[in-house]
Amino acid sequence: MNASFAPTPVVAALTAAALLCACTSKPPPEPLRAVRTAEVRYDKARETNRYFGSVQARYEVDQGFRVGGKVVSRKVDVGQKVRQGDVVAVLDATDYRLAVEAAQQQLAAAQAQAKQAQSDRDRLDALKADGSVSPSDDEKAQSRAQTTHATAEAEASKLELARNRLEYTALRASQDGVVTSVKFEVGQVVAEGQPIVSIAKDVEPEIVVNVPEDQLSVFKSSTYKASLTSAPDQPFDVLLRELSPQAAATTRTFRARMKPATPHPLPLGASATLVIERPVGDSAVAGIPAAAITQNNGKPAVWVIRREAGEPVGTVQLVDVQVQAYRNDEVLVSGPPSGELVVTAGVQKMAPGLKVALPAAATDVASRQAAR
């Protein structure tokens, strides 16, 4: 038996409704493009320069022996703290002891001669009363007594000098501080006055930098901040204490010594960065990333986001700007109102009227659009 199938009215209606929904459904809208932005903030333009230097002591003394000789003992090392009067090094004192002994013998001989001459003069003075001594002999005796007395005094001074030179064979620290340099070893023969050790006071450390001649006038009229290489995120204010009036012969730069505005611990020898700033001109400018700059008919411009009220989205618009100055990764501009947001990445993909999502709300916007 052949049976024919005929759809009921209910099935036909359901089928037609399904086909109608399939024909009228639309694909979900594409999510808005998220952009990276920077806010326009105006301020006086400032010129910034950086200098690299080191921490040095304000008071540092190069010391050396006041006599020459062979070093027989070294008492200090670099980094060691010393007190005033501490022995730093010792020379071989054999020759200087012999010089003291020789000076003592010469003094004894001179004193004996002076004593003898004075006795002769006293005897002649006793004989002058009866006329037994001629004026010539009296003058000779007086002159000899004076000469031998002066010779004895000279020999006494030579003995004192020899004793001083013997004492100079021990080099002593001239001030409290820390040893920053040692330029000798045991067994080395050093000359009189040759610097062999440096001692620095660690109570007033300073940052020393070299300033080029063409930046000298700018350097003097700037404000200063410094930071240690070991702590770049901890800048502190410094003051210009001394600026050399004469350029260095080799580098042709001027040495500047900066001291902390308030007491600040600075390890001697540490590397430091000095940042100086000074205002440039009277007009206010805004600093934006260099990647934000594009062109409009050959003139510099930026993409500004016109935000929609109550929505974390906006529409981009091309706005002309006036470029005031270029820096390493920043451009100083004027034109857009303060508080506006400018696109800083992907400016080549922007178009007038394009709707974009702000960075903080890009994820939320995409999720809401997908839910619609």
The DSSP-derived string for 210-278 is EEEGGGHHHHHTSEEEEEETTEEEEEEEEEEEEE-SS--TTT-EEEEEEEESS-----TT-EEEEEEEE
Cβ-contact 47, 278 below 8 angstroms: yes
pLDDT digits (tens, 9 = 90+) for 64-113: 999 999 999 999 999 899 999 999 999 999 999 999 999 999 999 999 99
β-partners of residue 325 are 332
pLDDT digits (tens, 9 = 90+) for 267-324: 888 999 999 988 766 678 888 898 889 988 889 999 998 887 767 888 889 999 988 8
**pTM for the complete prediction?**
0.57
Entry field: residues in the chain:
372
List the Cα angle 213/219/220 in 5-degree steps: 110
> Which residue ranges form the domains of the chain, and what is each CATH number?
33-44+283-371 (2.40.420.20), 48-59+204-282 (2.40.30.170), 62-91+169-203 (2.40.50.100), 93-168 (1.10.287)
* Torsion angle (degrees, nearest 10) of CA 321, 327, 330, 333: -20
pLDDT digits (tens, 9 = 90+) for 134-179: 777 778 888 888 999 999 999 999 999 999 999 999 999 999 999 9
Please tell me the distance from the alpha carbon of residue 227 to that of residue 46, in angstroms, as a whole number. Answer: 19
Please tell me the distance from the alpha carbon of residue 179 to that of residue 346, in angstroms, as a whole number. Answer: 57
Kindly state the helix (H) or strand (E) to which residue 369 belongs, with its residue range.
helix 362-371
